[in-house]
Structure 1
Amino acid sequence: MTNLARARVALGLAAFAAPKLTVKLMTSAGGTDPGRDYVARMFAAREIALGAGYLLSDGPGRRLWARAGLLVDSLDTVSGLRTRRGLPLWATAGATAVAGGAAALGAAKVARDILR
């Protein structure tokens, strides 16, 4: 989970600093689009908050952040499956796989915390 949290912060910082490049890599969309860049930065802020929240907390705080991450990643997975027709297949499959993988890691962490 610590590595997942670090990856969230790194991805968030990259997306915040270069939203156009982030979106282009994920969807092949180019050109100027302030609305798209704004949404990419919102995504970035969320990833930074989830990753930093986990890294800066311990014990009960980490359990809470892990659950929040699980919820977000699960919703991202569902969103990816629902929008599969609106984006190139490789972009949808890649983003959904990343979100699903993060959700699986989060689910394992949450389950382990509950069983303790």
Structure 2
Amino acid sequence: MNPVAGLAIGRIVIGLAMFVAPRLAARLFQLDGSGSATPYIARLFASREIALGAATLATSGETRNRLVTVGVAVDAADGVAAILSNKSGDVGKIVTALLLAPAAGAVAVGLGEVVRSRSQA
């Protein structure tokens, strides 16, 4: 599978899981899913992931490259959010690592694809 399609499908799958079962998905990320705002906040995240993944799959060429770049920025922000949550004491080191790993991996894959596509142009 092409890495860009893999990232996009991964976004959609994670987004659907968060939208359909936000408390369960939060627990899978080792987050406290008991708060009354958890489902709403999770669904906000989910809708962004689904939209970005679907838009990426629906495009090609330079438009797709721009969406991958947007995805890199979103994933980098997710990584920063994990670090800030650790620094404020909201999550421990293990949870931070669980949150940071997929964000960092997605940034690396996305950047690699953006660089590769630009070098082919």
Structure-2-length-normalised TM-score: 0.87
How many pairs were matched up? Answer: 115
Task: After superposition, give the CA deviation of every residue in 1:42-79 in whole Å (9 maximum; x if it has no partner).
Answer: 11011101111111111122111101101101111112
Structure 1 unmatched runs, 5+:
none
Question: Which residue pairs with 1:4 in the alignment?
Answer: 7
1:114 Cα deviation from its structure 2 partner: 2.4
Q: Which amino acid in structure 2 is aligned with residue 100 of structure 1?
A: A
Displaced runs of 4+ in structure 1, greater than 3 A? none
RMSD over aligned Cα, in angstroms?
1.4
Structure-1-length-normalised TM-score: 0.90
Q: Is the 8 A contact 1:27 1:88 kept in 2?
A: no
Structure 2 unmatched runs, 5+:
none
**How many percent identity over aligned positions?**
37
Alignment map for 1:14-53 (pairs within 5 Å): 14-31=17-34, 33-53=35-55
Question: Which residue pairs with 1:93 in the alignment?
Answer: 97
Alignment map for 1:35-114 (pairs within 5 Å): 35-84=37-86, 85-114=89-118
Task: After superposition, give the CA deviation of every residue in 1:86-116 in whole Å (9 maximum; x if it has no partner).
Answer: 1132221111011000001111111122223
Q: Any idea what SS the aligned residue of 1:57 has?
A: coil
Give the whole-Å Cα distance in 2 for the aligned partners of 1:22 and 1:59.
33
1:5 Cα deviation from its structure 2 partner: 0.8
Give the whole-Å Cα distance in 1 for the aligned partners of 2:77 and 2:118.
21
